Amino acid sequence: MKFHLSATIKLSKPASKEVISKEIENFNAQLTEKQVDARIEKWDVSENNLNIEIISGTKRRAHDILLNFRNILSKNLGKKYKIGVRKIDVSLYEVTFSLEKEPLQPVTIPFADLEIDGKNVRMILKDTSEEFLRKNYVDRMIKRVIEKVENQYYEGKKEFWKLIWKSEEKEPVWNKDPTEEMLKRGWLVQGPTKGKWFYRPQAAAIFRAMERIAIEEILKPLGFQEVIESHIVPFEIWLRTGHLEGMPGEIYYVCEPKTRDVKEWERFIDLVKITREVPEEELKKTVSVPRAGICYAQCPV
């Protein structure tokens, strides 16, 4: 894995080439002493701008080296010459790495262009901010490319499972699809939206019986106690559990009103009353970006 980064460090006022040369020389010497496979390869100063190129290997990413150098430079120039570091602009950042398998289909990723030749990947980022580097997006992007290629080899395959324990053989009392059978008998009715079902009395009785068995025979003996919580799940929870990245297409996204002021909703109400339809474009103006969701899956069995 190799990293090649071109950046401009904007200073609060000009610094001499002699001063910058010494700072870079000392910094590269520290990297060599620590056996870090990275260095500032090229540099030049133009007025308040310090342009540098950093090359690194796997041990330390070039953007980590850049941020480290920025901090050292800010400390040394500020203390000796009253020169501050205003910001960093990354004009070009190229990352090359290898895959274990060749992609079966084209691969794309946000924030970067990808050039893939066999198992070799060249990821090119342009006009990247300091904040982008500090949030460690680059490492996650590399990981995501590798992950997407790996997924291409597993999509469409049968579910993988590993047997942990097996009970004695039992004669099945039912060998049909229970959902299909209950639909035929009218015990279940498909709801108006995907994943939603109406449980008729027969299906509801079966569902509650299974629920009682689970609670009385398993959960309570294990010491669990019942709680009641909202069905609406904040994105922060799903970010931690992995649901938001693992099943974003299985979620109903919940939007809050931007305001509860009736006057702000007046046009929406007018359109509903007049047309007896949902004015979708008007609705978009009055609701916020979703920050929570509900899993739509409500499988009957």
Distance CA 249, CA 252 (A): 8
The pLDDT assigned to 118 comes to 95
Nearest to 129 by CA among 46, 66, 76: 66
Tell me, rounded to whole angstroms, the distance of Cα 148 from its chain centroid. 13
Give the type of residue at 182: M
The pLDDT assigned to 137 comes to 93
The pLDDT assigned to 281 comes to 94
pLDDT of 156 higher than 70 = no
pLDDT of 155 higher than 70 = no
The pLDDT assigned to 245 comes to 86
**Residue linked to tokens 């008007």:** 282
Domains in the chain, ordered, with CATH? 2-152 (3.30.70.1920), 178-219 (no CATH), 233-295 (no CATH)
Residue 20, C-beta contacts closer than 8 angstroms, at least 6 positions apart: 43, 45, 50
The pLDDT assigned to 99 comes to 96
Residue-wise pLDDT for 106-125, tens only, equals 999 999 999 999 999 999 99
Residue-wise pLDDT for 162-194, tens only, equals 788 888 988 888 888 888 999 999 999 987 777
Residue-wise pLDDT for 242-275, tens only, equals 888 888 888 889 999 999 999 999 999 989 988 8
Between helix 17-33 and helix 62-81 the angle, nearest 10°, is 130
Distances from the Cα of 86 to the Cα of 19, 49, 57, 74, 252, angstroms: 18, 10, 27, 9, 43
Distance CA 241, CA 228 (A): 20
Residue-wise pLDDT for 17-65, tens only, equals 999 999 999 999 999 999 999 999 999 999 999 999 999 998 899 999 9
Distance CA 191, CA 211 (A): 22
Question: Secondary structure of the chain in the HEC alphabet?
Answer: CEEEEEEEEEECCCCCHHHHHHHHHHHHHHHHHCCCCEEEEEEEEECCEEEEEEEECCCCCHHHHHHHHHHHHHHHHHHHHCCCEEEEEEEEEEEEEECCCCCCCCCCECCEEEEEECCEEEEEEEEEEHHHHHCCHHHHHHHHHHHHHHHHCCCCCCCCCCCCCCCCCCCCCCCCCHHHHHHHHCCEEECCCCCCEEECHHHHHHHHHHHHHHHHHHHCCCCCCCCCCCCCEEHHHHHHHCHHHHCHHHEEEECCECCCCHHHHHHHHHHHHHHCCCCHHHHHHHECCCCEEEECCCCCC
The pLDDT assigned to 300 comes to 43
pTM score, whole prediction: 0.68
Q: pLDDT confidence of 301, banded at 50, 70, 90?
A: very low
